[in-house]
């Protein structure tokens, strides 16, 4: 049964999605998604076409996903905060025919002066470069645009019914592409079929099942799909809101369930600790996904948590969205000396440990392939090291890959360092990740050895735009200019020494990150 079928089975007038005080019922969501699909068909979209999705995480995003399922459109989620050259390389790989782009990004694209001012004032400015031959569908508010584009609202008003010949999208059809990371080299696009995505969402939806989970709040659109699939009323809130505003939101709407990466909960935890209060009593269930859940985080959470609230920790990866799950209180009580316990695999997931200790995964959720490759192995090598305990639970002992996880982004240093090494003045560079207990997240540190004068502002400008730009999510928190330590016969950069050097700088965690 598809995501669309599951939505159609729900009572039509029940609330589905609430955003900024506006409620979208199941029937309204279905009707608007079907009209959008019909409008896309009339515009020329055909089954198997590819569209880039660079929009705000809002109700429009959700409707685009359902409309794409209805008309067979393949969606590629590309962060508009990435560097321009990085983006262009991904477009060359994708060869899309369509793009859903926020109208504000298109306005910046048209006006260089406005764009320059925007980047000067914005810490984390986003940009969507001009791309010849790509049909633009603008989302978001009306803007005075001169380039050819089709407003999304015009497609949503399309009246004729969608052609039923392409409904539903076959389970084996490629549907969604997400990128684990990338550079101006070969991007790593993960292709999910409609069936695999459905299986992943169903697995997490099963964990949401039950009478206590009635109203879910999140700012991430893929968690909205999970809530809708589980029959839960979903509220979209603003990620940038203050802890006071979020606590008021939870109480006002009687939110029962929160779903976010661990670091998103920290402002709420710190507020409650400082004000000697607990999280709102209406909460029943907290989910943690998209990033590792460390025991130190749970130890900070539990003192501000009402005793009745359930905690569910998910372990997964871009290639297989949910692998294992464990109760948070059980995880907090587990001795850390034996490793990081991840829990038991969800139904359908098979685990195997390779001779070198790497965790291998096989399941119906598993991705189809990387976009630049023809296929994949039957068992996916996770890049994590671990073992299966006698009781069947998976325990993580470390990482095999040189990878840094910040929020829900996998940063592979080996993909970015060659790009940075091409910046004028750079001899060689090295990324390291250092876990910050205060943020409950990894900090990204860039060490740079130079052969010519190079300032930090100049280096950051090069990382943000131009021929050597990199993903915004990979921009370093800290930059140090110094001679890199080397070891071995091949004189490779000694990252263990760099981590030690950084750990000897206790003052760095006392100040705000420069990014």
Same fold? 25-187, 404-510: no
Q: Which residues contact 283 (CB under 8 A, 6 or more apart)?
A: 250, 255, 256, 257, 258, 306, 309
Enter the tokens of residue 175.
Answer: 């549907």
Residue 80, both tokens = 């508009």
Domain 197-399 has CATH 3.10.310.30: no
Torsion-angle region of residue 494: left (phi > 0), alpha (psi -120 to 50) or beta?
A: beta
pLDDT for 186: 66
- In this predicted structure, what is the pLDDT of residue 82? 53
The residue ranges of DSSP E strands in 26-167, in sequence order, are: 50-54, 74-77, 98-102, 135-139, 150-151
CATH classification code of 404-510: 3.30.300.30
Q: Are 393 and 387 in contact (CB under 8 A)?
A: no
Count Cβ atoms below 10 Å from residue 213 Cβ, excluding itself.
22
Contacting residues for 89 by C-beta, under 8 A, at least 6 apart: 182, 183, 184, 185, 187
The Cα–Cα gap between 481 and 497 comes to 15
Cβ–Cβ < 8 Å for 51, 97: yes
Beta strands 394-399; 340-345: pairing state: antiparallel
What residues does each domain of the chain span?
A: 25-187, 197-399, 404-510
Residue 276's contacts (CB-CB under 8 Å, 6 or more residues apart) are: none
Say which residues have a Cβ less than 8 Å from residue 210's Cβ, sequence separation at least 6: none
In angstroms, the CA 59 to CA 425 distance is 46
The torsion angles phi and psi of 16, rounded to 5 degrees, stand at: -105, -50
Please give the span between the terminal C-alpha atoms of the chain, in angstroms, as a whole number.
44
Looking up tokens 């130190």 gives: 296
Q: What CATH number does domain 25-187 carry, 1.10.10.10, 3.40.50.980, 3.40.30.10, 1.10.640.10?
A: 3.40.50.980
Closest to 129 measured CA to CA, from 87, 96, 99, 90 = 87
- DSSP-assigned letter for residue 346: P
- Which neighbouring-strand residues pair with 203? none
Q: How many C-beta atoms lie closer than 10 Å to residue 147's C-beta?
A: 11
Give pLDDT, residue 89: 76
214 CB contacts (<8 Å, ≥6 apart)? 232, 233, 256, 257
Query: What pLDDT does 83 receive?
Result: 55
pLDDT at res. 167: 54
The residue to which tokens 């380039």 are assigned: 147
Q: Which two tokens stand for residue 116?
A: 């320059």
Token pair of 207 as six digits: 């964990």
- Pick from 465, 459, 449: nearest CA to 514: 459
How many angstroms separate the CA atoms of 459 and 424, rounded? 9
pLDDT, averaged in runs of 10, over the chain (515 residues): 84 92 93 93 93 88 93 84 64 90 89 81 69 90 92 85 61 88 63 92 82 83 84 90 96 94 86 95 90 79 95 92 94 81 95 94 95 92 91 86 76 78 86 83 90 91 87 90 73 79 65 39
């Amino acid at each position: 049964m598809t995501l669309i079928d599951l939505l159609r089975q729900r009572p039509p007038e029940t609330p589905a999605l609430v955003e900024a005080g506006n409620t979208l019922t199941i029937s309204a969501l279905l009707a608007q998604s079907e009209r959008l699909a019909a409008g896309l068909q009339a515009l020329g979209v055909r089954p198997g076409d590819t569209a880039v999705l660079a929009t705000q995480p809002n109700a429009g995003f959700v409707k685009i996903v359902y409309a794409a399922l209805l008309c067979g459109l393949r969606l590629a989620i590309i962060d508009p905060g990435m560097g321009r050259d990085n983006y262009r390389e991904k477009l060359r790989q994708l060869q899309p025919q369509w793009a859903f782009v926020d109208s504000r990004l298109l306005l910046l694209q048209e006006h260089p002066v406005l764009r320059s001012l925007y980047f000067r004032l914005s810490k984390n400015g986003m940009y969507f470069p001009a791309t010849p031959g790509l049909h633009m569908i603008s989302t978001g508010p009306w803007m005075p645009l001169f380039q050819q584009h089709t407003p999304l609202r015009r497609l949503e008003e399309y009246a004729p019914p969608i052609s039923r010949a392409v409904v539903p999208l076959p389970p084996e059809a490629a549907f969604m592409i997400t990128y684990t990371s990338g550079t101006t080299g070969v991007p790593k696009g993960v292709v999910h079929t409609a069936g695999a995505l459905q299986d992943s969402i169903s697995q997490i939806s099963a964990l949401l099942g039950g009478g206590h989970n009635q109203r879910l709040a999140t700012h991430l659109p893929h968690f909205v799909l999970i809530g809708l699939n589980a029959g839960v009323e979903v509220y979209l809130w603003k990620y940038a809101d203050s802890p006071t505003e979020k606590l008021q939101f939870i109480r006002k709407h009687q939110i029962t369930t929160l779903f976010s990466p661990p670091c998103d909960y920290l402002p709420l935890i710190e507020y409650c600790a400082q004000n000697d209060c607990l999280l709102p009593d209406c909460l029943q269930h907290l989910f943690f996904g998209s990033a590792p859940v460390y025991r130190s985080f749970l130890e900070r959470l539990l003192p501000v948590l009402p005793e009745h609230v359930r905690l569910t920790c998910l372990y997964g990866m871009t290639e297989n969205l949910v692998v294992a799950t464990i109760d948070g209180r059980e995880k907090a009580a587990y001795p850390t000396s034996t490793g990081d316990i991840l829990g038991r695999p969800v139904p359908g997931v098979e685990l195997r440990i390779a001779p070198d200790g790497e965790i291998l995964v096989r399941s119906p959720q598993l991705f189809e392939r990387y976009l630049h490759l023809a296929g994949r192995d039957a068992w996916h090598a996770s890049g994590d090291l671990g073992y299966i305990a006698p009781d069947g639970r998976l325990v993580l002992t470390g990482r095999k890959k040189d990878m840094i996880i910040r929020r829900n982004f996998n940063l592979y240093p080996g993909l970015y360092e060659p790009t940075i090494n091409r910046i004028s003045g750079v001899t060689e560079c090295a990324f390291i990740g250092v876990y910050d207990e205060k943020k409950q997240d990894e900090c990204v540190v860039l060490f740079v050895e130079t052969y010519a004068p190079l300032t930090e502002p100049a280096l950051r400008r090069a990382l943000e735009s131009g021929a050597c730009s990199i993903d915004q999510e990979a921009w370093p928190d800290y930059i140090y200019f110094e001679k890199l330590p080397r070891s071995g016969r091949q004189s490779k950069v000694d990252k263990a020494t760099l981590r030690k050097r950084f750990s000897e700088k206790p003052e760095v965690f006392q100040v705000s990150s420069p990014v």
